[in-house]
C-alpha cells in the first residue's frame, strides 16, 4: 500500500505514520493541566484565535492559560448540539492524583475568573468537583485533515454509546496518530482510534483499565517515562488503571531510568531515546522533522538485591 509523498495532493500524515509502523508509546503531549471550554464552532486553524468568541476573548484566555502552564482547548458535542450556557472543565492530569472540575456558564468572560494558577498546582480552579471521565476525540480538521477524517467517525460512535462522557476537542497534538483520543482527568492519550477501537478504549477505562494497543502515554509524565510505563505494563501484563504508580526518574544523557510502584513492588525501567530520520509529521507541514524514538533497555525489580 502506498500513498502520495509529502507535499503532494492527497498526502495524509496518519497514513504515512502507520505505513512506517511508527510506535505509539511515549508520544503523548506533556501537559499536566487542561482547561476545556464548550464552543460549537466553527473552529479555524487556531481554535481559540479563530473561533467566534466575543471581543478577542479567545486570545485573552490563551494568554492567561499559557502564563499559568495550562492547555486551553475548545470542545463540542459530536452532533453540534448544545444546551443553554457553555460547559467548562478544568482537569489536573497528575499521574498519581488526577482530578476534574466542571461547571456551566452563560457568559464566556467568566472563564477569566477561574484560578488557573491553582489548577496548575493541583488545587481547585473554582469549579465544582466532577468524578465523571471525559472521552475527548480530536476532530480539528482545520488544523489537520487527518484529525477530521479519522476522528469524526470515532467521536460519533462514542457519542452513541457514551454521550455524557464524549466530546470533540480542538488540536491536542500528534496529528499523525489520528484518530486521537484524550481521556481526562487521567491525561491518557490514545492514537489510531476508529469507531470500533474507540469503544474498546472507553469500555476499558470505565472498567478501571487501560488499553495498551493504542495507548500513546500519560500526559503528566515526560515522554520517555510514558514509554517506560507502557513497556512495564506489557512486561507484567498489567492493565489495571491505578496499579502502576510513577515514583521517580533519573536522566543521564540519552538514558532515562523510571521507577514505578506496582502493587507494593518497585520496578526500574531503563529507556534509551534516539532520533529517526526526519519525516513530514503533519499534513500541512512545510518541512521534515526528526522523530524521537524510545527503545527499552531493561526492566528489573528495584526492591530486590542485585546478584553479581
Share of the chain above pLDDT 90, in %: 86
CB 146 within 8 A of CB 14: yes
Mean per-residue pLDDT, 1-12: 64
Q: What is the pLDDT of residue 3?
A: 59
Cell (9 digits) for 154 = 470515532
Q: What is the pLDDT of residue 52?
A: 84
Q: Which of 210, 288, 207, 299 is nearest to 259 (CA)?
A: 299
Q: Which of 256, 170, 177, 180 is nearest to 221 (CA)?
A: 256
Q: What is the pLDDT of residue 305?
A: 59
Mean per-residue pLDDT, 223-241: 97
Q: Which of 47, 41, 39 is nearest to 111 (CA)?
A: 39
pLDDT one-digit tens code per residue, 68-82: 999 999 999 998 876
Show the 3-state SS of 164-224. HHEEEECCCCCHHHCCCEEEECCCEEECCCCHHHHHHHHHHHHCCECCHHHEEEECCCCHH
Mean per-residue pLDDT, 3-19: 79
Mean per-residue pLDDT, 160-165: 96
Cα separation, 19 vs 88, in Å, equals: 38
Q: What is the pLDDT of residue 6?
A: 53
User: Residue 85's pLDDT band (boundaries 50, 70, 90)?
Assistant: confident
Q: What is the pLDDT of residue 307?
A: 46
Q: What is the pLDDT of residue 142?
A: 92
Structural domain spans, the chain: 33-213, 223-301
Strand partners, 182: 136, 189
Whether residue 1 has pLDDT greater than 50: no
Whether residue 256 has pLDDT greater than 70: yes
Residue 240 DSSP symbol: B
Cα separation, 292 vs 115, in Å, equals: 35
Mean per-residue pLDDT, 13-24: 96
pLDDT one-digit tens code per residue, 113-134: 999 999 999 999 999 999 999 9
Share of the chain above pLDDT 70, in %: 95
HSE-CB for 293 with a 13 A CA cutoff: 15
Q: What is the pLDDT of residue 56?
A: 86
Cα separation, 102 vs 60, in Å, equals: 20
Q: What is the pLDDT of residue 53?
A: 87
Q: Which of 61, 50, 74 is nearest to 142 (CA)?
A: 50
Whether residue 205 has pLDDT greater than 60: yes
Domain 33-213 falls in which CATH fold?
Glutaredoxin (3.40.30)
Whether residue 5 has pLDDT greater than 80: no
User: Residue 97: which region, alpha, beta or left (left: phi > 0; alpha: psi -120 to 50)?
Assistant: beta
More confident residue, 49 or 5: 49
CB 189 within 8 A of CB 219: yes
Q: Which of 172, 184, 267, 276 is nearest to 225 (CA)?
A: 267
**Mean of per-residue pLDDT scores for the chain:** 93
Q: What is the pLDDT of residue 8?
A: 55
pLDDT one-digit tens code per residue, 144-157: 999 999 999 999 99
Cell (9 digits) for 293 = 524514538
DSSP-based three-state secondary structure for 279:
strand
Q: What is the pLDDT of residue 4?
A: 59
Amino acid at each position: 500500500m502506498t500513498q502520495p509523498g509529502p507535499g503532494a495532493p492527497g498526502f495524509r500524515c496518519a497514513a504515512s505514520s502507520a505505513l512506517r509502523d511508527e510506535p505509539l508509546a511515549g508520544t503523548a503531549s506533556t501537559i499536566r493541566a487542561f482547561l476545556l471550554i464548550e464552543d460549537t464552532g466553527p473552529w479555524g486553524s487556531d481554535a481559540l484565535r479563530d473561533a467566534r468568541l466575543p471581543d478577542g476573548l479567545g486570545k485573552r484566555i490563551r494568554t492567561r492559560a499559557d502564563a499559568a502552564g495550562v492547555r486551553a482547548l475548545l470542545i463540542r458535542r459530536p452532533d453540534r448540539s448544545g444546551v443553554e450556557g457553555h460547559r467548562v472543565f478544568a482537569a489536573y492530569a497528575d499521574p498519581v492524583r488526577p482530578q476534574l472540575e466542571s461547571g456551566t456558564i452563560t457568559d464566556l468572560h467568566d472563564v477569566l475568573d477561574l484560578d488557573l494558577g491553582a489548577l496548575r498546582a493541583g488545587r481547585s480552579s473554582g469549579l465544582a468537583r466532577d468524578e465523571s471521565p471525559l472521552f475527548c476525540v480530536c476532530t480539528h480538521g482545520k488544523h489537520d485533515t487527518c484529525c477530521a477524517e479519522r476522528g469524526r467517525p470515532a467521536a460519533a460512535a462514542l457519542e452513541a454509546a457514551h454521550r455524557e462522557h464524549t466530546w470533540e476537542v480542538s488540536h491536542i497534538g500528534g496529528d499523525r496518530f489520528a484518530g486521537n483520543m484524550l481521556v481526562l482527568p487521567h491525561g491518557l492519550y490514545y492514537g489510531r482510534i476508529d469507531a470500533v477501537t474507540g469503544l474498546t478504549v472507553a469500555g476499558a477505562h470505565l472498567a478501571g483499565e487501560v488499553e495498551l494497543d493504542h495507548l500513546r502515554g500519560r500526559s503528566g509524565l515526560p515522554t520517555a517515562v510514558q514509554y517506560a510505563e507502557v513497556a512495564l505494563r506489557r512486561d507484567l501484563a498489567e492493565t489495571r488503571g491505578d496499579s502502576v504508580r510513577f515514583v521517580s526518574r533519573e536522566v543521564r544523557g540519552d538514558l532515562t531510568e523510571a521507577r514505578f510502584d506496582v502493587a507494593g513492588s518497585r520496578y526500574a525501567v531503563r529507556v534509551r531515546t534516539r532520533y529517526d530520520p526526519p519525516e513530514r509529521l503533519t499534513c500541512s507541514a512545510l518541512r521534515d522533522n526528526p522523530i524521537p524514538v524510545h527503545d527499552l533497555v531493561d526492566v528489573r525489580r528495584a526492591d530486590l538485591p542485585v546478584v553479581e
